[in-house]
Each structure stands twice: as structure tokens, then as C-alpha cells.
Amino acid sequence: MDSNAKVKASAAVVAAVLVLAGCSGGDDKNAESAAVRTSAPVSGGASDLQQQYERVVDAVLPSVVKIQTDQGEGSGVVFDGQGDIVTNAHVVAGAKRIQVTSSSGGSPLDASPVGAFAADDLAVVKVHGGSLKPASWGDSGKTEVGQIVLAMGNPLGLAGSVTNGIVSALHRTVTTKGEGSFQGSTIADAIQTSAAINPGNSGGALVTLDGQVIGVPTAAASDPQIGGAAAGIGFATPSDTVKRIVPQLIQTGKVSNSGRAALGVVVRTIVDPQSGQRSAVAVVEVEKGGGAAAAGIQAGDLILSVNGTATPDQTALSSILANLQPGQTVKVEIQKQDGSKKQVDVKLGELPGGA
């Protein structure tokens, strides 16, 4: 395993329940008029920083759009000059009607789905007509903890909103639950940020002070004690993932090179009927010619761990695989139907992409 892989593998897995930051159901038209403007003299470094904020907002906000479907609202970022717009898969999953509105206002434009890759919670929709400005996509691999960032999007129906914060951490592995037609996702290398991420921000832009989009805000951590989103803990899909996945969706509507490792099995979580605790994942189906089949794994087997890390449920298994690479060989502990346990070596394949 190379040094980058070690960094990824050692990164903390976000095990807390996450709140998808998209598809807000409401639209507060009075909130904008409730704002009170104040003024005070600003000088020195603070003045320079303020001016840089303003320049970045002026440059990037025209590339951020409001996405409205028959199910709710979210955000999007213009990817190219052909009308292709990046958003989160959960924002448009199952939508029968999609409309896009520029952050600067104007008439909504009808959009059609191009493709989605739920594993990374990414989707592309396309508009015809209009004059939307493409964003400048940066290199998320060069992002530093402590770097100042702005989150731009459509939180709670307030189009063209901007919040600020810093990059709080890198290489997070974030798993989101499914909702409606969206099956859920496990995002590797997610960027953690303190910039406020609220419902409706999903699919928007996480932007550096040089105007580069380095991520797509996707989810906020949930605090079980307050029963809602945890303040200052949000996550974005990195731009490097966007730049790998989105061109494939634009070209074919599918992903043929996901870069995501797979065992070659379909699984389900086993729950102990006595304790109610999740204990393992059961193999439901084995892909012919895949790594699991070659290692002798069969339908009905239980997967107990991968490379020594327990897999009590599908989320845990997905999180482990998200930090591995296709072609790697891993040690998988399984339990056969007769109760015997054994360890097998599995050469990982690649997670297929869907429409």
C-alpha cells in the first residue's frame, strides 16, 4: 500500500448518522427581507480579506444554481459550457420534473437527467438554452487543513447563499443513508468543513479563496443529543472525484471506471434476533468471475472482517472498501453455513457504475 493509501486507510470513518444536505422541502420567501444591514469601518488585513471574499463570490456564485424538483430543492454547479450541471444524486433521485435557476435569478430552465453514480452521490443534469457560466474546478488533493473556504448554494430555499469556514479535516469516509429513491452512498476522501451546510446546500460548491471549486457539499453530521444537524460539521465530495466521475456520466450516462474497490458480492446485514445487534453481513449473491468467487466465497457465507477490521453491517463493509483500490488483495474472514470459520485472500475488483 502506498503512502497515500495509508493516509486514507488511517483516516477516521464517520460512523455517526449523517443528514443529507439536500432537497429542502420549504421556501422561506420572507427570510431575505428580514435581514438588517449594518455598516462599520474595516481596515488593514480585515479589509483585504473582505475584498477577497467579495471577489470570489462575484466570480463563482454565477456558476452555482438552484435545482428544484417535484420532490424538493437542492443546488448544482455548472460543469461546462454545454449546459451540464453537477449535483448530488440524492437531490434528483426519482425526480419526474427538474428545473434549474441561476443564482442571479431569471426564469427557471427545464433540465433533464444525464446520469448518476449513487456510490459517490453524484449526478449530472442538463439544461438547453440559457447562458450559465462554468465553474473553475480545483485540485482537492492539494487542499490543506485550516484553509479558508466558502460554501455556496441554496440552503432552505434561499438561492445564492454563501457561508464561510475552514477545511476542518481531510480523507474522511462518510456514509449517508438512503432516502426515497436514493440508495445511500459511501464517499471516500470527503472534505470536512466548518462552513455551514444546511438542507438545500447539497450539490452546491465548496470554494477556496482563489475561486476554485474543491468539493460538492453533500451531508452534515447529526447530533443525536439535539436530534438535528451538528453545527460546524459538514462534508463535501472532493473535486478530484467529481472530475473523474462526471465526464463519464456526460459521455455515456454511466460510470465504467469508478476507481472504487469491490469484493464481487451482493450482501445484506444480519441482525441478532436476541440482542438486536448487527453482527455480520451475509452473502446473497456472488458475481461470476469476481474476486470473491475465485476465493471460494459462496452465497450464504457470512463476512466477518476484511483485513482484520470487523464488518458488522453493510455500512462498515462499504467504508472499508471505499479506502481500498481495485487490484489489491485483502484477507477476508468468513463463516460457512456449517459454522466453521476461515480466512481467504480476495483480489478486489472494481465497483460497477449504473445509469
Q: Which of the residues are catalytic?
A: 90, 121, 202
**Dihedral of alpha carbons 281, 323, 117, 144, sign:** positive
Q: How many residues make up the chain in this entry?
A: 355
Phi/psi for 323 (5° steps) reads: -100, 15
Look-up: residue for cell 431569471? 106
